[in-house]
Every structure is written in C-alpha cells, then in structure tokens.
Amino acid sequence: MCQYSSEDGFATEWHLVHLGSRAVGGAGLVFTEATAVEPLGRISPNDLGIYHDEHCEMLSRITSFIHGQGAAAGIQLAHAGRKAGTASPWAGGEPIAPEVLGWGPIAGPSAIPFAEGYQTPEPLDSAGIARVCRAFADAAARALTAGFDVVEIHSAHGYLLHEFLSPLSNHRSDDYGGSLENRARLVREVIGSVRSVWPERLPLFVRFSVTDWVEGGWTVAECIEVARSLTALGVDLVDCSSGANTPSANIPVGPGYQTGFAARIRAEAGIATGAVGMITSPVQADTIIRTGQADLVLLAREMLRDPYWPGRAARELRQEQHSPKQYLRAW
C-alpha cells in the first residue's frame, strides 16, 4: 500500500517501522509499496522510488530487519504512466498542474488522459520505450543490491504497463498497439529486461489487473493468453488484481471478489497465482489455498489494520506460531 512518505523517492524511518512491523507480525513475505523506476513514474511526488543508487542504503536497512524476523522481502517495481503527478491522498489526491509539478510531460501509450483534469500523456516513442525497459532493469539490479528476495513488476491498476495492455488507453498503430500480441509487447520486454539482471534463483512476480471491468477493455481471456507465455520468460507467479484503468468501471466489490481470477489463470494458463482483494479472515485465506484457487494469498488493507494478522491466523487455524521471542508472552 502506497505510504506517500518519501522525498525524491527515498525510504524513511516510517518505511522501516511500517514494513518491519509486518515482519514482526509474522508475515512470510513483506512487499514494499509500488516503487517508481524513474522520477516521472511516480504517482505522487511523495512516492517511494528506486531510481537512484543512493536509494539502496535505507532499503538495505529495511530488508536486513525483515530478514532478521525470518521473513522474505519483496519490492514492487512500478511506473505510473498517465496516472503520474497527483497529490497525496491527504492533500486531496487531485492531479497537480504541470507548471506546479515541474516534472515535464508524463508518459503513456497514447495521448489519452486518465480522466478529466489529468495531464494528457506524451506517447512513448521507441527511445522512450527503451528508456522505460532500462529503468526497470536498473531498478531490479538496485533491488538485488538492497537485499530483496522477490521482485514484482506492476502491470495493473491503470499504470503504464497496464495502459499498454488495454485498448481503452492504447490507441497506437505501431508494433505496440492494435493486436493483443502488440499490446503485450512492452510488458514482455520489461520482463526480459528485468530477468536479464534478476537471478534465476530468485522469484519474479507480475501483477495484472485481470480485467478492466469495462466493455471494450482488457479482458480475462486476454490476460490468460498473455499469462500462458510468462513461464518461458522467467515469471514465477501472477498476482491477480483488477480494474483502475478507467474511473467509469462498475466493479462488483465484495469479499474475495477477485479470487476467481487467480483460480482461472492458475488452471488455464498453468502458472502459479496470488489472490488479492477483500480477503480478511484466516479461514477465508486458508480455504483459498486449500482448495487450490491460488498459491499465495496477499493481504494489503487488512494488514494495515492489523500488522499481527498472521499470528492471529495461526492461532485460529491451530498452526505453529512464528512470533518473535520478545512477544512470546503475549500468545
């Protein structure tokens, strides 16, 4: 979950305590928020980044603490695309005027703004596409230096890679637009760039919005077709979310409403999946795994509400407790 607590992308003491407390709470894998691979790829000026070598020092401190609690450390590499340049939620969350933002033109597949009031993105040319691929690869190399165990490429929620996948935001007529093969070209190239520096021994995840929830948009069937090709590219797991590429989507939100996507991709694309979305109870999460709907359950808002959810889940499900020795008296 984005924390909007950085300046020029640098992690802070807030991130150390925020992420570290989830490891203390018993999570097996602790992910950073969406972490920008270049300055223009930030959702807000206060997003976490990994586009400077200097970012690695504090990130290394965080991964060291996470490892010290017996957990793995993951980082989500992201580029906000046409959704870049907004204020933090507590500052209103609205797009910041370009002259105030001072970043230069934001990027996208086509000159189509996300919504009224957002900047019109500048379509990436071949040099811009090459720059983005290098930025993801450089970020993955820094993630390795900083001690992360898992990299996830963020291709969901209306950010740059999802924008290329969806016909709603991609109106290109070159090799990166039109057919599904072309619209998926950039995400495949980014995966290749990342895998060129990310060791085979370490997992690589990709997060997809499995559907846009809008007629004429990116579909479950298309996502399954793309997912079928990912194992050969070195992807180990697809993290199955949905939506957020258009403000007009009508999403039937409810408990476990996205779990069926993880189940379908797991069964039809033959790749491991992670389930997300209003998964809140230990029994609910356990059932998803035990019935083979997904290989991992990933929690976000519920872990914001309760950093010690894994310990409570272990107790409720009568599983072995993995609390730090300092907290054993509490259990």
**Which residues are the active-site residues?**
159
Q: Which residues contact 277 (CB under 8 A, 6 or more apart)?
A: 241, 242, 253, 256, 257, 258, 259
> Cα–Cα distance between 170 and 148 in angstroms, integer?
32
Residue of 214, 20, 247 whose CA lies nearest to 113? 247
Angle at 90 between CA 308 and CA 47, to 5 degrees: 75
List the structure tokens of 130: 């090459």
> Cα–Cα distance between 4 and 169 in angstroms, integer?
26
Cβ(33)–Cβ(48) under 8 Å? Answer: yes
* Residue 36: strand, helix, or coil: strand
List the structure tokens of 173: 């007529």
Cβ(85)–Cβ(41) under 8 Å? Answer: no
- Please tell me the number of Cα atoms within 13 Å of 92 on its side-chain side: 6
> Cα–Cα distance between 285 and 28 in angstroms, integer?
14
